[in-house]
Amino acid sequence: MEATTNDNKPVESAEPASKLQPRISIDHRFFPHIIDIILSSLSYPGLVACASVCREWRNKLRPRLFNHVAIFESTLDDETTVVRSRNTGWPDKSAVLVVSDPANVEDFRNVQLCSTTIDCYRSHEGFDTRQMLGPTSKWPSTFHRLIIPKDLGDSDRSSEYSEDVGDLEGSEESHLVRNLETFHSGQLRSQNAIYFIDYGEGQLTSSPRVLSSLSTLGFLTLSIACYTNPTSTDSRLSFSQPLDAQDLMGEMRGLQYCTLVFKNCVDHRSPWELGFQGLDSQAPQAPHLGAAGELINRIGMNGPFQVVGLENFVPPEHHLSYLQAICSQVASKIESEMSYEDGIPTIENWLKFRTHDRFREFMEDYVYNLTTVG
C-alpha cells in the first residue's frame, strides 16, 4: 500500500527511480502472449533490434520482417545472394534474413510466401559481402522493386514457386542461386514494378540487371533521382549502357500505364537557376525541352502515362509554359488534342501532370514512399 500525507497525496520516494525494485515481475516463459503483444506493437527498428536478441525471438520476428525484402545477387564466381529486410520508413535500418545456401531453401521460400515488396539488386561487379552481412547496408541507387499483389493467396504463391524454381532440396548452391533469378523476377506475377535510376550530366544510369521482366508487367514507375536539372535546354538524354535505351523503350510498349517521377537531388539550393527559362518568341515550333522533355516524348508514344515532380526544376513563372510545350509535342505525335484540367495542360486518357504533393495525396503516404524512397 502506498504511503499518503494528510491531504491524500502520495509521498514522493526519496530513492532514485533506478534503485526502486519492481513490485511485479513477469516471466515471459509462462506468459508468452505478453511478449507477442509487445512485439506486435514495435516499430520496424524495434523489430530489427529484438531479432538480434536470441534465436527464439529471431524466429518469432522473421515473418514480420519478410514483408519487404531486398535481394542482393552477385554474378561473380561466388554467386552470393543475400536477402535483407527493408522498410521505406527507416531506409538505414535492416536485418539479414537469409544467405544463399542449400540449407536455406525454406527461408527463400518464405521470401515468396510472405513478401509483398521485393527489391532486386543484381551486380555484375559484385559487392562487399561483409558489408551486406553487416548491421547496415549502403543500398545501390539503381535497382528495381516488385510489388506483389496482397490478394495473391499462399496456394498461388506456393504453386508459382514450385513451377518456377522446382524442388531445390539437396541442390548445389550455384543451382539454387541460378534459379533464384527466375524466382524473384517477373515470374512472381508482379504486375507492378518500380525502377530506381539516376540522372546526371545528361545520362540515365539504369540498373545493371537486364530489363527482361517488363513485358510481364502492367504498370511501371521510373523513379529518377536527378543530380542535375533535367529541364535545362542544354541537357541531352543518353543512357550509360547503350542497349538500355532500346530495351527499355521496346519493352514499355506492352505496358498498361507508366509513371515518371522526377526527384530533386540537385546539390545547390535553387535548381531552378539552371532549369527551363521559358520559350523564345523567335524559337522554332518544337523547342528543346531538355532531357526530361526528350524522355517524356519517347515514352509518350507507347501508352498512357503520368509525369510527377517537374515543379522542382522549372521556375514557377515558367512551369505552366513548360508543361504546355511538352503536352503540345506529345499531342502532335499521337494525333490528339491538348486540354486543361484545373488549369494544368493534359491529354485526356493519355498524359497527366502532377506535383509531388498531389501525387502523395493521390497515392497515400505508404505507396508514395514505395515509389520514391530507394
Tens of pLDDT, residues 129-156: 666 777 766 777 888 888 887 664 444 4
Parent domain of 35: 30-65
Q: What integer pLDDT is reported at residue 283 of this predicted model?
A: 46
Q: What integer pLDDT is reported at residue 349 of this predicted model?
A: 92
Nearest to 121 by CA among 207, 42, 54, 31: 207
Q: Last residue of some domain: 65, 82, 112?
A: 65
**201 in a structural domain:** yes
**170 in a structural domain:** no
**227 in a structural domain:** yes
Same-domain pairing of 34 and 146: no
**192 in a structural domain:** yes
d(CA 206, CA 176): 26
Same-domain pairing of 145 and 61: no
**127 in a structural domain:** no
What's the N-to-C CA distance of the chain in angstroms? 55
Same-domain pairing of 205 and 349: yes
Q: Last residue of some domain: 38, 65, 92?
A: 65
Same-domain pairing of 57 and 199: no
d(CA 239, CA 206): 8
d(CA 269, CA 324): 26
Same-domain pairing of 202 and 56: no
Q: What integer pLDDT is reported at residue 130 of this predicted model?
A: 64
Same-domain pairing of 146 and 52: no
**112 in a structural domain:** no
d(CA 192, CA 194): 7
Q: What integer pLDDT is reported at residue 1 of this predicted model?
A: 43
Q: What integer pLDDT is reported at residue 323 of this predicted model?
A: 96
Say how many domains are in the chain.
2
Q: What integer pLDDT is reported at residue 159 of this predicted model?
A: 41
Q: What integer pLDDT is reported at residue 324 of this predicted model?
A: 95
**116 in a structural domain:** no
Residue ranges, the chain, pLDDT below 50: 1-6, 9-13, 152-187, 210-212, 215, 271-272, 280-285
Same-domain pairing of 193 and 337: yes
